[in-house]
Amino acid sequence: MSNTMEVKGKRVIVTGAAFGIGKAMTESFLESGAEVVIVDINEEALKQTAGDLNVEYITADVSSEAEIKNIISTSNSSMGGIDIFCSNAGVGGESGLLNTTEEDWLNIWGVNVMSHIYAAKHSLPQMLEQESGYFVNTASAAGLLTQIGAAGYSVTKAAAVSFAEWLAITYGKKGIGVSCLCPQGVRTSMVEDAPGIVSALVGIDGIMEPADVASDVINAIESDQFLIAPHEKVLDYIKMKAQDYDRWIEGMQSLQTQLLDSFPDAEDMFK
């Protein structure tokens, strides 16, 4: 069963929409003729974006199940339903492992994983009733390949990929489409404000513009494509990883050594 969906005329929620990929996705949805409600925790930036794009907005913490339920309820009231839910909000979290706290882990897990779960849990009933719906879950190439120096980011993005897979397997034959967005470096504040060693790592295959990533998202929805990998090299890396896991780990260890040789002051970040 194909879950291809024409974006024109659809009712869309985009979280993490004040900046970056979320803002670019909103612009692409609007250009494609969709109606959009945008969500972010940064109220000031969200208001600015909503004003610039002339869309409804909801200030919310997407790691809260109650606030996700409110997003859905409010969006149903303003748009008369929901066709596409883009769980795009994400955080980079703390680096390394040894210096992280319980609070660090709970925070990154809540935003990067539970927000996707809550969105699906509370949107699915009405999507199943209307026999159509689509989820776009933003993960990262780190969810497929890990992120050197960032245990929390690696673990949560892998979990986000895994949940998107489960969602597609469980509901794909019931009219529910799922796409999982896994880019590498994208020109966003998360990348541009990152320490030099992180920017060097995520930009290893080039930094993409948010608008190009957003265009890939629209195309994926309209062709019912699960994995969105804007950086094509990521697909090669996945194959290499699957073919020889030990060799892949050795290669990642070598890459980490090279990075630390170039940025010796960053060693504490990788512990």
Active site residues: 153
User: Nearest CA to 87 among 106, 66, 72, 103?
Assistant: 72
CA–CA distance from 39 to each of 43, 75, 195 (Å)?
9, 10, 27
- Separation between Cα atoms, residue 180 and residue 257, nearest integer Å: 30
Residue 197: count of CB within 10 angstroms of its CB:
22
**Long-range interactions of 90-93: CB distance < 8 A, separation 24+:** 90/16, 90/138, 90/140, 90/157, 90/190, 92/150, 92/153, 92/190, 92/194, 93/150, 93/152, 93/153, 93/156
What are the phi and psi torsion angles at 41 (to 5°)? -85, -20
